[in-house]
Amino acid sequence: MASERGPEPVGAAAPGAGAPIPDPAARSPEAASGGAPANLLEVRDLKVYFPIREGLIVQRHIGDVRAVDGISFSIARGETLGLVGESGCGKSTTGRAIIRLNDPTAGTISFEGTDIAGLEAKGLKSMRRRMQMIFQDPYSSLDPRMTAGGIVAEPMDIHSVGSPTERRARVRELLETVGLNPGYADRYPHEFSGGQRQRIGVARALALDPDLVIADEPISALDVSIQAQIINLLERLQDTLGLTYLFIAHDLSVVRHISDRIAVMYLGRIVEVAPSRELNRKPLHPYTVALLSAVPVPDPVVESRRRRIILKGDVPSPVAPPSGCRFHTRCWLREKLGNPEACSTVDPETRYLSTGHGVACHFAEEVDGSDEQLQATGGTVVRASVASTASTVPPAPGPAQPPARPQIVPD
């Protein structure tokens, strides 16, 4: 298995020190893939429920908050999967469950063939070396009593990687990799700007040379110009180190730029998943169409052809989600079709096209080529022939080959 993890460690550890520091420069995307399976991560029927209890002395279980309720997806090596949806739909809970910060209620989380959903402390600790998380808030995610160097070195301390001298050298190297002066290692978080703090968070996530990085809305708390710098940094690191990303965000324009595929969540379920370009040009779920209609397009000609779709009502409670399709209480398509009974009584299966485009909607063929779809995307849409080409079995993914991405702005 060690040969599949990349290069041999560089340098010998000092007596009494931990494992040698891995050399990230020797780890190419080709070496990282080796002969291992194409899918680095596979999630099947994942559920994360938070119990609701009442009573002070004797507590009774009276219900559950169904934050994540039976989702399935996979991520290929070197791929970026964007996970989008409204606040409260379960995006962050999904990421935290994958890395086991939240324990899953049911389902499997297979990381390179190993189900980590049931791993205990020792096995989980070794597995966490290979997957790390970048947190949403660059202010609260850094310990104010620790220096930047101490924060970046902490994962190496916990996993006993390298000698103290090697760790200090690795910290300086990581700070330089993320665009910070290595001399800043002795500064405290309050001495940095928001963008610099997030760079420290990125450096911490890279300290153990992980395969999978879960980025939980890493730019939502930053200014627009700083957001572009962090996105460019993440893309450069992926190209250099062969990283795999689960990129969680609510900004579809950002997700469109960085992602190879996009999964759309609503009320604990994935309602649509497709290659990034295809999802933005040809959305097939009414909820995705509504989301895209709210994203501005920096082209006055295209923008003049678009129309915003305003959804009615509020998001239902995850404690008591609606029967049937969970979006039916707010769905513009259901109203347009005369409120068909199937929407409120039958839970739609995800149907997959040959292109890998999956959609969980009974009437996706009615969305395809509709006026709402055209007005949300601002262009001409070629019909996908959903009814004739759909399957409930997702196509087998091949190795990810991310398209060339234009840089937003230079660092």
Q: Is 299 exposed, middle or buried (0-12, 13-18, 19+ CB in 10 A)?
A: exposed
**Measured CA angle at 221 (ends 217, 222), to 5 deg:** 110
Mean pLDDT of 259-267: 96
Return the CATH number of 2-10+25-52+63-258, one of 3.40.50.300, 1.10.3720.10, 3.30.70.260, 3.30.420.10.
3.40.50.300
For residues 219 and 143, what is the distance between their CA atoms, to the nearest angstrom? 19
Q: Is the pLDDT score of 9 beyond 70?
A: no
- Spatial neighbors of 320 by CB under 8 A, at least 6 apart, are 63
Q: Is the pLDDT of residue 151 over 60?
A: yes
Phi and psi at residue 81, to the nearest 5°: -105, 120
Residues 320-356 have pLDDT tens digits of: 999 999 999 999 999 999 999 999 999 999 999 877 8
Per-residue pLDDT at 375: 87
Is the confidence at residue 403, as pLDDT, over 50? no
Residue 229 has pLDDT above 50, yes or no: yes
Task: Reduce the DSSP state of residue 204 to 3 states and report it.
Answer: helix
CA atoms within 13 A on the CB side of 95: 27
The pLDDT tens digits of the residues spanning 181-225 come to 999 999 999 999 989 999 999 999 999 999 999 999 998 888 888
Identify the pLDDT of residue 301: 81
pLDDT level of residue 12 (50, 70, 90 thresholds): very low
| Helices 148-158, 194-206: inter-axial angle, 10-degree rounding | 20
Question: Is the pLDDT score of 30 beyond 60?
Answer: no
**Is the entire prediction scored with pTM above 0.85?**
no
Residues 68-122 pLDDT 10s = 999 999 999 999 999 999 988 999 999 999 999 999 999 999 999 899 988 888 8
**pLDDT computed for residue 96 by the predictor:** 95
Ranges of each domain in the chain: 2-10+25-52+63-258, 281-389
